[in-house]
């Protein structure tokens, strides 16, 4: 029993060290693998970083924060939001040679209530709207940047990924 517990502890320490290792040296790196777009919501800033670290992206992505993430890009009420993101994608390509766009939406997002003019959305309704926005986001990005790969994630309010 004691050996089993020690074994589990060693595995956990090794996993923690592996997750904590930067994927590249920030003092010498000149490129980034991805541009990440997240919502502005204060509750998930740290969770987005933990998630990206767990996927091996630490020190390897540029980051844009935009209310609603994919919806912020897709919406047409504020023209400047999409243009600002497009300008930054262009910059990230030119300066850091990014190959991927990662968008991280989240549940209970205030931007969804704002843009869809709803005071409350059921979980099912909100997931459906995120799916629609991911599809539109992918389409718009591929129209302008067919060479970039797009990955869409939906994060629950506790930081876990919702499979859509
Ligand atoms: Zn949000």
Q: How many C-beta atoms surround the C-beta of residue 65 within 10 A?
A: 14
Is the pLDDT reported for residue 22 higher than 70?
no
The domains located in the chain, with CATH, are: 30-163 (3.40.1050.10)
Is the pLDDT reported for residue 142 higher than 90?
yes
| CA 113 to ligand 1 center in whole angstroms | 10
Comparing 4 with 51, the larger pLDDT belongs to 51
DSSP H helix total and E strand total for the chain: 6, 5
pLDDT digits (tens, 9 = 90+) for 83-140: 999 999 999 999 999 999 999 999 999 999 999 999 899 999 999 999 999 999 999 9
Average pLDDT over residues 57-72: 96
Please give the Cα distance from 64 to 85 (Å, whole number): 7
Is the pLDDT reported for residue 21 higher than 70?
no
- Label residue 144 by pLDDT band (50, 70, 90): very high
Cβ-based neighbours of 24, under 8 Å, separated by 6 or more: 59, 60
Order of strands, edge to edge, in the sheet holding 161-162? 61-65, 34-38, 100-106, 149-155, 161-162
Q: For tokens 């541009």, what's the residue?
A: 35
Please give the Cα distance from 53 to 85 (Å, whole number): 23
The pTM assigned to this predicted structure is 0.86
pLDDT of residue 20: 61
| CA 153 to ligand 1 center in whole angstroms | 13
| CA 144 to ligand 1 center in whole angstroms | 25
């Amino acid at each position: 029993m004691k050996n089993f517990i020690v074994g589990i502890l060693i595995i956990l320490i090794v996993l923690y060290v592996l997750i904590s290792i930067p994927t590249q040296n920030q003092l010498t790196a000149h490129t980034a693998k991805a541009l990440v777009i997240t919502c502005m919501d204060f509750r998930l800033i740290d969770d987005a970083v933990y998630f990206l670290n767990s996927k091996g992206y630490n020190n390897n992505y540029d980051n844009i924060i935009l209310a609603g993430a994919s919806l912020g890009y897709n919406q047409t009420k504020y023209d400047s939001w999409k243009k600002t993101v497009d300008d930054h994608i262009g910059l990230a390509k030119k300066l850091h040679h990014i190959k991927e766009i990662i968008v991280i939406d989240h549940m209970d997002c205030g931007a969804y209530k704002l843009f869809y003019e709803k005071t409350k959305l059921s979980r099912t309704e909100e997931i459906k709207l995120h799916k629609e926005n991911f599809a539109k986001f992918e389409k718009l990005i591929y129209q302008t940047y067919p060479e970039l790969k797009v990955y869409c994630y939906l994060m629950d309010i506790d930081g876990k990924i919702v499979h859509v």
